[in-house]
Structure 1
């Protein structure tokens, strides 16, 4: 007979099983004391059991454990080493394949960056090299047919879309009608999305820029920003530099174009402050001539 003490009965049983090297079913167990958790450590008691082995013969459980330990010793180190090396090679190949997959995935831009890149008015702006040279009338017909097809199954009540050349490098598209204002959306998000879709198509296929007007949204935005910039232009002429207030969405691009047109020999660029607000900076000390 042997006594075992532990925090719980399960732990006490495990101690007895390891001591006698047999299954718990081959032992006779008497519980001398039930475990108690107590309260804040007061009155805490461990489990105490008395254990008797049912038979004196060595149990099959112990023999199996010994045989198992001998089998482990019989394993050759060379075999194990080879398996580890093979496993490492497979893991390296998998990691290499995953890295190649990740390299093949293009970098994704946020929706604001996508729109900014689309609407940026910059002399360094790249135009797609894959340009199909076509007659202007043919281009207008294809663009109008594509837009009509895009909106043919929508529920919007829109008049016939106006498509014409704004200048030699820009196509002008105008949406009018009872429901045309719905294409603008809250804070102009639908307008931005539609602009991005049409621009990517027109620029990629024809190498042209886009000027999109929806229910006079663009005109109203331009009028408001031009009114704001009138006194700013006088300040720039007097002092040589100026920084606009934070501008949202399309306003910053309208302001950028107006100020670059007004001051072609000055440094005019869009900047972002620490809060993420975007503004236009005009600086006479960094002119294009320098």
Structure 2
């Protein structure tokens, strides 16, 4: 009998098969711990099994009964995209999406709220029930609050960005809606901070016809991009990257960029 640990059940089963030089159907396996991806890389658990060869006649009978559905399904890793502008242009897109009536939007918001609360029920953070409501005709507002809600933001908003991207991909693919994610008033506070900073940038653009922002950290550059594009829809507004990876925004006439 051997104890085997691996990132997934499939990998653990495969390793057991290799160590005993036999098929999985010829092993007696007990799952000690199921794998868990955790949340945003935290509290991840590997699969742990205990395996031993079974008698030849028992394995043969079991092999005849075993169906494909009973085998552990492969676990696909989550692939996160590169941190570039296109990732966020989807989240803040102004394109119209097909939606049905207000009653349908309310029903979708209720459904998303139920699913999110089930998903986050076992998380180690102390959170209040997640609230989902209709923000506008194309957007759902998802709100996280509670004692540990701020931990979902992360340094420079990196967890906020990851969570926002994952939730958007689900909501947009499933319901063709946009997402506004609010965690402990983080987005509201950041939007107000960026709006105050952009006052001087607006003055430069209005006076000179062009300007650029300072290097902005984390989610701030995406908030600034949205606000600048809303104000200067007739100008070229885009993110640029410095040699050391910092990001800033330029505003210019289309024929001058």
Fold match (TM-score > 0.5): yes
2:74 aligned partner: none
- SS of match in other structure, 1:245: coil
CA RMSD of aligned residues (A): 2.7
Cα distance in 2 for residues equivalent to 1:259 and 1:118: 13
1:260 aligned partner: 229
Tell me which of the two structures has the higher relative contact order, counting C-alpha pairs closer than 8 angstroms and 6 or more residues apart: 2
State yes or no: 1:276 paired with 2:245: yes
Which is worse superposed, 161-170 or 133-142? 133-142
2:123 aligned partner: 154
Offset at 1:109? 6.0
Q: Which runs of 5+ in 2 are unaligned?
A: 1-78
State yes or no: 1:190 paired with 2:177: no
TM-score, normalised via structure 2 length = 0.62
State yes or no: 1:220 paired with 2:160: no
- SS of match in other structure, 2:126: coil
2:87 aligned partner: 116
2:214 aligned partner: 245
Decide which structure has greater helix share. Answer: 1
2:38 aligned partner: none
Q: 1:109 to 1:160 in 2, by over 3 A?
A: closer
Offset at 1:205? 0.3
Cα distance in 2 for residues equivalent to 1:118 and 1:265: 17
Cα distance in 2 for residues equivalent to 1:119 and 1:178: 31
Q: Superposed, which structure 2 residues align to 1:229-240 within 5 Å?
A: 229-240=198-209
Cα distance in 2 for residues equivalent to 1:249 and 1:157: 25
Cα distance in 1 for residues equivalent to 2:145 and 2:80: 31
Q: Which one has a bigger Cα radius of gyration?
A: 1
Which is worse superposed, 133-142 or 244-253? 133-142
Cα distance in 2 for residues equivalent to 1:211 and 1:132: 19
Cα distance in 1 for residues equivalent to 2:120 and 2:85: 23
1:141 aligned partner: 110
Cα distance in 2 for residues equivalent to 1:227 and 1:266: 21
* Correspondent of 1:207 among 173, 176, 190: 176
Offset at 1:286? 3.5
TM-score, normalised via structure 1 length = 0.55
* Correspondent of 1:168 among 132, 137, 140: 137
Contact 1:132 1:205 in 2 (8 A): no
